[in-house]
Structure 1
Amino acid sequence: MNKERLPRWGWLLVGLFLAALIANLLNLIVLVPTVFPEAYRSITVITTMSPVLIYVGIWYDEERQSYWEHSRARIVGDVLFVVAGAALGSAITLAVIVDLGLSAFLQDILAMATGFLLAWGLFWWRNPDMYSVQTDQ
């Protein structure tokens, strides 16, 4: 894939659209009819979108290309941490607020914020050197 074909926000938009499409298909075909109540449908969307938010920036930014030199097992572990963090963060938030009478839109926004923050926090915890400020002294 050519990075120059689209700006960073374009790749992010394409990735988020595909992640939402996959999550909604998963919800429609597998999870909602068998497992999830409809109030928790956004958990899968948040979970599939979180790696896109983190990894598009790492893939696109030249100063973060050293990340791809890690072993495949390390990268897979990072992705699993991101996915688990997003799922846990959004699920816990929805479990707490689903019966408070908030609108579904507000519930989804709060779940997204918590899920994405926990996912990024776990990624940062495993890779603190990627976001450290380098000073020349």
Structure 2
Amino acid sequence: MDKDRLPRWGWMLVALFSVTILANMLNVVVLGPAGLAEEYHVVTVIAAMALVLIYVGVWYDEERQEYWEFRTERIVGDVIFVVVGAIVGSGLAIVSIGEFGFSRLLQDVLAMVSGFVVAWGLFWWRNPELYRSEDDGR
């Protein structure tokens, strides 16, 4: 894929749209019939979107290209951390605020914020060297 074909936000938009469709298909075809309650369908979308928000930046930014030199097992572990973090963060948010009577939109937005923060926090915790600047001194 040619990074110069689209700006960063363009790649992010295309990827977010794609994973949202895939996550919703997973919800309709697999998780819904398996018994997952509809208010938790947003969790799969958040987990997929968290991957895009983190990894498009790592892929697009030249100063973070060293990440792709890690062993495949480490990258797979990072992906698992991101997905599990997004699921746990957004799921806990839905469970915590479910009884307050918030609108579904507000509940979903709060779950997104929570899921994204936990997912990015876990990714940063495993890869702090990607976010240090050259003049950081550490």
Partner of 1:74: 74
Q: Check conservation: 1:59, 1:65, Cα contact below 8 A.
A: yes
Instruction: Deviation per CA, 1:75-129: give whole Å up to 9, x if none.
Output: 0000000000000000011011112100000000000000000000000000011
The 4+ residue runs of structure 1 with deviation greater than 2 A are none
Unpaired segments of 5 or more residues in structure 1?
none
Cα distance in 1, alignment partners of residues 39 and 111 from structure 2: 11
Q: What is the deviation of 1:136?
A: 8.0
Cα distance in 2, alignment partners of residues 112 and 52 from structure 1: 13
Cα distance in 2, alignment partners of residues 128 and 60 from structure 1: 18
Partner of 2:109: 109
Q: Which has the higher helix share?
A: 2
Structure 1 position 125 matched with structure 2 position 125: yes
| RMSD of aligned Cα (Å) | 1.2
Q: Check conservation: 1:39, 1:98, Cα contact below 8 A.
A: no
For 1:59, the aligned partner's letter is W
Unpaired segments of 5 or more residues in structure 2?
none
What TM-score comes out, normalization by structure 1 length? 0.97
Identity %: 57
Aligned residues: 137
Cα distance in 2, alignment partners of residues 72 and 21 from structure 1: 27
Cα distance in 1, alignment partners of residues 116 and 65 from structure 2: 22
Partner of 1:53: 53
Structure 1 position 14 matched with structure 2 position 23: no
